[in-house]
């Protein structure tokens, strides 16, 4: 559900620059050669790739969120209740997500986005058949394996978070005979896909071509907790039957991959290949936001608070763009000022 923050943040930032340029809106997806996203981030990424208005993505979360997550795991007892109810919640949630994605992404495939929009996509998941990392990919250097996967299926696969959602059983376009493959959430290994994007950019870009990576998260949680010696002996119930492990893994991955990406970009630049990464926003969120950052929190109050935070953070980034001495702000501004115009109803390309 925290994807509503990402969509609202980008929506507000694009509106700022569209107004300053006297344009109806801007086609943010066309600002990139390659877009990558994991789990909820892939939903935003694919919407950008096909040129859908970001306000439409915000509405997807607001309208369909309560149907996708009709029950929130908010404590040990709710985790036990969920365990006893089996698939009573995840099965209808799976259908609700597919229906919502179809309204935004229709039947568009990976290959169509590449051929008709000139945008490469790279979306991490986990293949359950061998428990290995899988990247749905269409770039200048990728083969045909993923060409005919619909974006809806790709998003279903990358966001199939264990405990919170069903695994994704999707058609294999290369298999035929109605055979399906089953995938789990790409966040199990690449919740922050910045290194996935960097590798594909290095592989696909022309020799010596500078690379700029813009990395945006989903409203990071206030980090850390004080744990006494006695509290260190946690059981399954203390971890809410595993539901509390996911946010911990997300936070640890986000920090680790950002740190590695900064190190590698510096190393490549020193070797003569210009690679620059920008992570934004960098502001710590208020501690009271912790009550609204559950992965399955579809309450109206939670979405309202996430959107409010997104707007506040976008305002800060716009201020950085207006500061002529702010190097990161100049990078964002250059991107936004170079975007093509787009009708408010979305890009026309098919």
- DSSP secondary structure code for residue 244 in this structure: T
Helix (H, G, I), strand (E, B), or coil: what is residue 174?
coil
Chain Cα centroid distance, residue 239: 25
Q: Which residues contact 230 (CB under 8 A, 6 or more apart)?
A: none
- Distinct helix (H) and strand (E) counts, the chain: 12, 9
Instruction: Confirm if 183 and 39 have CB atoms less than 8 A apart.
Output: no
- Tokens coding 57: 């993505």
Catalytic member of 11, 27, 39, 215: 39
Cβ–Cβ < 8 Å for 346, 51: yes
Which DSSP letter does residue 150 get? B
Of 153, 185, 200, 313, catalytic: 185
Strand ranges (DSSP E) for 28-153? 34-36, 120-127, 132-138
Q: 62 near 126, Cβ under 8 Å?
A: no
- d(CA 60, CA 338) in angstroms, rounded, equals 28
d(CA 299, CA 291): 11
258 in active site: no
Task: Answer for the pair 112, 67: CB distance below 8 angstroms, yes or no.
Answer: no
- Give just the sign of the alpha carbon dihedral 341, 343, 347, 350: negative
185 is catalytic: yes
Q: Which two tokens stand for residue 58?
A: 């915000």
Q: Which pair of structure tokens corresponds to residue 191?
A: 């919740």
Start-to-end CA distance of the chain, whole Å, equals 29
Active-site amino acid positions: 39, 185
């Amino acid at each position: 559900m925290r994807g509503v923050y990402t969509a609202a943040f980008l929506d507000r930032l694009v509106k700022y620059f569209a107004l300053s340029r006297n344009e109806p809106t801007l086609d943010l997806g066309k600002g990139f050669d390659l877009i990558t996203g994991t789990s909820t981030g892939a939903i935003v990424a694919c919407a950008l790739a096909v040129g859908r208005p970001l306000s439409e993505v915000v509405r997807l979360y607001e309208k369909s969120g309560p149907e996708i997550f009709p029950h929130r795991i908010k404590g040990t007892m709710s985790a036990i209740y969920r365990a006893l109810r089996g698939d009573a919640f995840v099965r209808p949630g799976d259908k609700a997500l597919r229906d919502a994605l179809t309204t935004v992404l229709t039947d568009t495939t990976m290959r169509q986005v590449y051929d008709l929009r000139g945008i490469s996509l790279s979306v991490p998941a986990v293949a359950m058949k061998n428990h290995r990392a899988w990247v749905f990919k269409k770039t200048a250097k990728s083969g045909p394996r993923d060409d005919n996967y619909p974006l809806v299926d790709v998003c279903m696969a990358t966001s199939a978070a264990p405990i919170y959602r069903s695994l994704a059983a999707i058609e294999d376009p290369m298999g035929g005979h109605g055979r399906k493959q089953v995938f789990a959430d790409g966040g199990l290994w690449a919740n922050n896909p910045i290194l996935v994007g960097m590798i594909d950019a290095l592989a696909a870009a022309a020799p010596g071509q500078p690379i700029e990576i813009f990395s945006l998260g989903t409203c990071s949680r206030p980090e850390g907790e004080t744990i006494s010696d006695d509290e260190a002996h946690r059981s399954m119930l203390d971890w809410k039957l595993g539901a509390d492990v996911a946010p911990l893994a997300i936070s640890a991955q986000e920090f680790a991959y950002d740190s590695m990406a900064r190190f590698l970009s510096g190393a490549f630049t020193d070797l003569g290949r210009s690679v620059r990464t920008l992570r934004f926003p960098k502001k710590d969120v208020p501690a009271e936001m912790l009550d609204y950052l559950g992965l399955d929190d579809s309450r109206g109050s939670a979405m309202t608070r996430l959107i409010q935070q997104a707007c506040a953070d976008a305002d800060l980034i716009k201020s950085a763009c207006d500061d002529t001495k702010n190097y990161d702000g100049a990078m964002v501004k250059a991107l936004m000022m170079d975007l093509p115009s787009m009708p408010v109803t979305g890009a026309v390309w098919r």
